[in-house]
Amino acid sequence: MTAIYLSIVIPVYNEEKSLKPLMDRLYPVVSGLGRTFEIIFTNDGSKDRSLDILKLYVQQYPGVRVLEFNGNFGQHMAILAAFERSSGEIVITLDADLQNPPEEIPRMIEEIEKGHDVVGTIRENRQDSLFRRVASKIVNITTNKMTGMQMSDYGCMLRAYHRNVINNINQCGESTTFIPALAQTFSSSPTEIMVGHAERTLGESKYSFYSLIRLNFDLMTGFSVVPLQLFALLGIITSFLSVGFALFLFIRRFMIGAEVEGVFTLFAILFFFIGIVIFGIGFVGEYVGRIYQEVRKRPRYVVRKTYGFEE
């Protein structure tokens, strides 16, 4: 058996409309490289015909492999499962919805061959809603500040990794994660290139507002304890200020005498601080919940069946 040079990894969740146009563009690019390759699709519990289509591709296209999940475990778990079964020297992740152009793959391979171990991409003219673009900006800036990493576009999943980085990722058993950030922690010479970005024209985004928030908690709390430290700091500052305020009221009591006005102002201030406290407890809860998930040691995902790996 010849060693595989390139592994393409694609998570699929209800993408029956995108799969054919994807294969029509991806396969010529990959097979035109003249290197050995495999394309691994993870079917992340799709409820449409995606799995049937993928099984057909295993027959039709040499090098196509499919992992079938037992349910929906999320995009990042789908990618991790494929990483564990991949064997390429270079591994490239790609979304199934053609928002990332497969034509950029040769350029990414070039960067790895130059000696970089992670090639990230920055979406030029990103074609998503204004809300998502603004939210991503905020996430990118705060994540860089909090983790000390340097990445311009955390969300773009068109990425290339050297085998060394993949081996490290495969040794991590964490049950919630964010792959671009995880890879960055193992990378010694990352680089980024600009790539085009297309609007999603087939099917719809699989991320609801809520799951986007969940995902960003994975990113923030999964890679940094700065949120906790900021909270401790905020607590200390508030206590100091409140001592000052109490002193001020104490002196005022002697100068003006007893006052009862301002009860509602007091309420407003109180609600504000209670809000902060609940927020803080929630934050701590995020970390505790993650620790709980880790200690339970349940499988992160369940693969029901694989296709095309036997050959």
Considering the complex, state which of residue 13 and residue 37 has its C-beta at the smaller distance from ligand UDP: 13
With CB under 6 A as the contact rule, the residue among 19, 55, 74, 216 that binds ligand UDP is 74
* From 38, 68, 97, 153, residue interacting with Mg ion (rule: CB under 5 A): 97
Q: Which of 6, 8, 9, 13 touches ligand UDP by CB under 6 A?
A: 13
Smaller CB distance to ligand UDP: residue 76 or 116?
76
127: three-class secondary structure by DSSP: coil
User: Which of 219, 234, 233, 231 has its CA nearest to residue 149?
Assistant: 219
Tell me the Ramachandran region of residue 249: left when phi exceeds 0, alpha when psi lies from -120 to 50, beta otherwise.
alpha
Q: Least CB distance from residue 304 to ligand UDP, whole Å? A: 15
Q: Which is nearer to ligand UDP, 42 or 224 (CB)?
A: 42
Site mask for ligand UDP (CB under 6 A), range 76-95, x = bound: --x----------------x
Which of 75, 93, 121, 221 touches ligand UDP (CB under 6 A)? Answer: 75
Q: Work out the angle at residue 124's Cα, subtended by the Cα atoms of residues 119 and 129, and round it to the nearest 5 degrees.
A: 115
44 binds, among ligand UDP, Mg ion, none (CB under 5 to 8 A by kind): ligand UDP
In order of 5, 13, 203, 304, the CA distances from 48 in angstroms are 32, 9, 11, 17
The span from the CA of 107 to the CA of 111, in Å, is: 7
Q: What is the contact mask toward ligand UDP in residues 115 to 154, using x (rule: CB under 6 A)?
A: ----------------------------------------
Binding flag, residue 207, ligand UDP (CB under 6 A): yes
- The structure tokens 């039709």 sit at 60
| DSSP annotation of 154 | T
- Count CB neighbours of 306 within 10 A: 16
Q: Please, which residues bridge with residue 39 across strands?
A: 8, 64
For Mg ion, the closer of residues 204 and 311 by Cβ is 204
Residue 100 or residue 187: which is nearer to ligand UDP going by CB? 100
Nearer to Mg ion, 210 or 254 (CB): 210
For ligand UDP, which residue of 12, 169, 183, 219 counts as binding (CB under 6 A)?
12
Q: Which is nearer to ligand UDP, 77 or 90 (CB)?
A: 77
CB of 213 to ligand UDP, least distance (A): 13
Buried b (16+ CB within 10 A) or exposed e, 230-253: ebeeeeeeeeeeeeeeeeeeeeee
List CB contacts of 44: < 8 A, sequence separation 6 or more: 11, 12, 13, 69, 72, 73, 74, 75, 77, 78
Q: Where along the sequence are the contacts to ligand UDP (CB under 6 A)?
A: 11-13, 15, 44, 72, 74-75, 78, 95-97, 99, 205-207
Q: Where along the sequence are the contacts to Mg ion (CB under 5 A)?
A: 95, 97, 99
